[in-house]
Amino acid sequence: MKFENIEVCTRDEYKGAQEPLSFVWRGEEHPIAQIVDRWYEGGVDSTRMVLLYFRVKTITGETFLIRYHEFFRAWSIVL
Residues 12 and 16: their CA atoms lie apart, in Å, by: 5
- What is the per-residue pLDDT across 54-64, written as a single tens digit (0 to 9) for each? 999 999 999 99
The rounded distance, in Å, linking the Cα atoms of 44 and 57 is 29
Q: In this predicted model, what pLDDT tens digit does every residue of 20-57 receive, in sequence order?
A: 999 999 999 999 999 999 999 876 777 778 899 999 99
Domain that holds residue 65: 3-78
Distance CA 54, CA 48 (A): 19
Query: Would strands 51-58 and 28-41 be described as parallel, antiparallel, or unpaired?
Result: antiparallel
User: What's the whole-model pTM score?
Assistant: 0.87
- For residues 70 and 16, what is the distance between their CA atoms, to the nearest angstrom? 10
In total, how many domains does the chain have?
1
Nearest CA-CA partner of 69 in 60, 61, 77: 77
